[in-house]
Chain A
């Protein structure tokens, strides 16, 4: 009996101990995915990249060598670089306002210049070489795979009948690129700037990986239209005379502006704030909005 009594007391004590402890409750929820609004922008644009991207963003066409030299000269001539950049944006906005678009073509040398002993017979072959090196340098293995696939797909294209699209030898390409750079420094610079633009778009569009890169390449790298005939790729920014023109669809307008200048969608807060600000600030014009964004810190980065 005494033994039973002791056992009962021990049982009671154990129960009290167990019941007296805090219970840990685990609430399980479904997986939560947090998406970044954009890939992080850590790289400061070089002066030439800044100018050419600004030009292309505003006019929807690639900048010509002549225009790039002119605007770069202004940048070089002023010690306060931020001031220089804002002046360049003002000059571009002045042209946009007056609709005096410079649709100058890339100043490639005549085709016969490219018929060389090295076996490169067409300007597009130089572009191919540059593109392949850029892809390797900027997009990594995944980019190379996509690039090769794209080359195979496009191999039937007469202009892109490069001898080795399927066996990309980057070292060989790099040597060829060096030769081109030495022989045609201006053209090299022009194409380099062009690819800076293209690659920037790729990078910012591919924050969740390189899904669809092949498709994007097919669009972005339609060299015939986007380089040799830049007018054909014109995709100018919407430029309303006033904000009243976009009154009915502010959200879409702000989204387009963010996509154009920052290569990302605005957050809901940004969209709300900017819309509210525009509505409450009659002094601000659409060009003022563009100027504000193009001289902001984020626009300096890619």
Chain B
């Protein structure tokens, strides 16, 4: 090989090395280059079906004083049906971000599970499969697959207010995604108040190591594969941390310490407990992506006044969630919180009248039931503060691309699957 040939070969080799892509564990050819706006996103589905009339339009007064500006009093006729809650002090949450007063859920399928699915996948679903993984990838899977560095399950959480199909929202059956990229799920109402008696047998660290080693032998003898293909899985280390967390959660609730952690007495409900558990997950793991929901306002089908009362409680819980974020090292000033109902409720009431003379309201897909609000909170310099959009703007399927944009992997979303846009107007 002469000198010229050598140099030419070397040049070709170097060029092809530079040109050849690096195959990342996540399966993408290059690491995403998009920078992050912040490092954490919390999505709170202020759900259960809440009309704009009762939330941002304040038809019965300001039922959300923790979130919204205004001192409009609650309507006198329903006031006796309201539980006592601590008075909201200081600026409302709205001051720390952008409020879309006329956000939309552009679908007639006002079914709770279906609408949750739409928000989490960024796709208006056409059919609903219960108790099965979703057809379209979830935001959790996009996040875990396309983030520039490996994200274990500890970084992604789904705290579900209800059992049934809702815990299935953590991953899809999409061939390119699936449980490998799913979120950890906790469904607090299934875990708490069970009276577990003796409590778990705990093994000290040395014994746990001995157990693990023996189990390796036992598993090697059996040699089965894909045992839990239908479930998100964690590393041994993460499993131990999550299990400790769950045991602590159950034990503290059983001992009474966490039965009413925010000292609300009779006002305590499942929504608040669900958000409390999400707060504890935030404290324990500082997740980069957490989704939590509330659904007690769905009592609006039967008792209007209680529906209003539960909107107030959800408002209180949302404020506590933000307070937790802002007091958690690693997440304070580095988190964007998005809160929105999954859909609204009908304009016309049904025939059920409560003891205060108010008629209940269903959600059957009329135009009013597609009207919702969306509140996006975040640090100054990232999220526009005190901004309000009064005109119709944004829809629920925009949430997935917006979260992806915030966490810096937006360019890797499969555009053919998603129809939403990034809510650019939120950001500075």
Contact = CB atoms under 8 A, between A and B. Distances in A.
A81 B227 CA distance: 10
A23 B383 CA distance: 90
Interface stretch (B71-79, B191-199, B322-330, B345-353): B191-199
Interface string A190-218: 00000000000000000000000000000
A52 to B, nearest CB: 17
A297 B185 contact: no
B194 A82 contact: no
Contact of B198 (A74, A98, A295, A301): A98
A87 B247 contact: yes
A270 B242 contact: no
Chain A: interface secondary structure?
A: helix
Interface string A289-302: 10111011110110
A156 B389 CA distance: 82
B188 interface: yes
B218 A296 contact: yes
Interface string A175-201: 000000000000000000000000000
Interface stretch (A1-9, A124-132, A279-287): A279-287
Interface stretch (A88-96, A135-143, A229-237): A88-96
B210 interface: yes
Given A76-B163, A76-B190, A289-B214, A82 B198 contact: no
Contact of B184 (A76, A80, A285): A80
A291 B203 contact: yes
B373 interface: no
Nearest to A82: B228
A78 B215 CA distance: 22
B128 interface: no
Interface residues of B, number: 52
Given A82-B233, A87-B200, A284 B224 contact: no
A270 B170 CA distance: 39
Q: Contact size class for A?
A: 35 or more
Given A73-B194, A277-B214, A94 B227 contact: no
B211 A284 contact: yes
Interface string B273-317: 000000000000000000000000000000000000000000000
Interface string B160-182: 00010001001000000000001
Contacts of B198: 91, 94-95, 97-98, 100
Interface string A18-34: 00000000000000000
Indicate the member of B184, B200, B222, B227 with the most A CB atoms within 10 Å. B200
Contact of B201 (A82, A283, A287, A296): A287
A287 B208 CA distance: 11
A77 interface: yes
A83 interface: yes
Given A76-B163, A292-B214, A83 B242 contact: yes
Contact of A284 (B214, B217, B222, B246): B214
Given A79-B184, A79-B186, A80-B231, A281 B217 contact: no
A77 B194 CA distance: 12
A273 B184 CA distance: 36
Contact of B246 (A76, A78, A96): A78
A80 B201 contact: no
A274 B214 contact: yes
Interface string B58-102: 000000000000000000000000000000000000000000000
B273 to A, nearest CB: 13
Nearest to A295: B215
Nearest to B204: A283
Interface of B: 153, 158, 163, 167, 170, 182-191, 194-204, 206-207, 209-211, 213-215, 217-219, 221-222, 224, 227-228, 230-234, 239, 242-243, 246-247
Interface of A: 44, 70, 73-74, 76-83, 86-87, 90-91, 93-98, 100, 267, 270, 273-274, 277, 281, 283-285, 287-289, 291-293, 295-298, 300-301
Q: Which 9 A-B pairs have the closest CB atoms?
A: A79-B185, A77-B190, A90-B200, A93-B201, A81-B231, A298-B222, A77-B191, A77-B187, A296-B218
8 contacts: A74-B191, A76-B187, A77-B187, A79-B186, A80-B153, A82-B231, A283-B209, A298-B222
